[in-house]
Amino acid sequence: MENTGYIHSIETFGTLDGPGIRYVIFMQGCPLRCRFCHNPDTWRVGAGEKMTASQLTADIKQYLPFFTASGGGVTASGGEPLLQAEFLLTLFKKLKQLGIHTAVDTSGYVNVEKIKELLACVDLVMLSIKHADPEKYPAICGGKSDRPRALVRCLNKINKPVWLRYVVIPGITDDQQELKQLKDWVKTMPNIEKLELLPYHTMGVHKWERLGLPYTMPLTAANGNGPYVSIPLSTDQ
């Protein structure tokens, strides 16, 4: 019997989750509790809709013309998609047979040894760095930075293309010293193609309220209208 994945939701015309037009699969379940998360409804493991890789592939095939025309493909996001690495491996193998570009949007909070086979089927890793300072990382997301940093070392070693994502939160992640730490870290990653500086927003606060969760971040934010900075990188930068 084919294994199943737990899916929170699907966006069939994503334009901010990798190159081209993307079919974005928001996977259910996450080990972190980021204070600025705009999808806390994806946290609970084992919730969501059960789907097989074959079911998803059949739906994805409908969008092949859009992928071809735009250089797009499929992105697994979340939640934390790498929590369901076995399911994604089955799915991505099917997608590679169809010539579809694959990406994962991840926090990197995962045991690297458990995803090495999956990484061979991934064309792009979009890695969300929660905080540039390892000492301040736990306060922002409830975990330690050792796992994401181990993943970075693995991705460097196998020369996997990476887009690095960093949310700029006023007074929390925008200190000059912390941004310098981010810059120095980026310099150690020759496989990074792009650095995306994302504006902090509060568009997910209503989800926290609906779930009865206390929101501890600033309520004054750009609400998605702030600067979205995408910086292409090369090895000599």
**Where are the domains positioned within the chain?**
4-232
**Between the CA of residue 27 and those of 49, 58, 198, what are the distances in Å?**
9, 18, 21
The answer to whether 38 and 224 have CB atoms below 8 angstroms apart is no
Separation of alpha carbons 171 and 221, rounded Å: 12
Query: Based on the number of CB atoms within 10 Å of its own CB, is 199 exposed (0-12), middle (13-18) or buried (19 or more)?
Result: middle
The pLDDT value recorded for residue 49 is 96
> Among all chains, which residue has been given the structure tokens 């994401």?
148
Q: pLDDT tens digits for the chain (237 residues)?
A: 788 999 999 999 999 999 999 999 999 999 999 999 999 999 999 999 999 999 999 999 999 999 999 999 999 999 999 999 999 999 999 999 999 999 999 999 999 999 999 999 999 999 998 998 889 999 999 889 999 999 999 999 999 999 999 998 888 888 888 888 888 888 888 999 999 988 888 889 999 999 999 999 888 655 444 445 555 655 444
Cβ atoms of residues 36 and 77 within 8 Å: no
Specify the pLDDT at position 143.
87
From 197, 190, 206, 110, select the one nearest 158 (Cα to Cα). Answer: 190
Residue 101, CB-side half-sphere exposure with 13 Å CA sphere: 20
CATH 3.20.20.70 fits 4-232, yes or no: yes
In this predicted structure, what is the pLDDT of residue 230? 55
Q: For residue 181, how far is the Cα from the chain centroid? A: 21
C-alpha distance across the termini of the chain, in Å:
49
d(CA 65, CA 72): 10
pTM (2 d.p.): 0.91
Q: Among 97, 110, 29, which Cα is nearest to 64's? A: 97
SS3 139: helix
Peptide bond into 79 cis (omega under 30): yes
Per-residue model confidence (pLDDT) at position 159:
96
Cβ–Cβ < 8 Å for 20, 67: yes
- Helices 85-97/53-60 angle, 10° precision: 40
Amino acid at 116: K
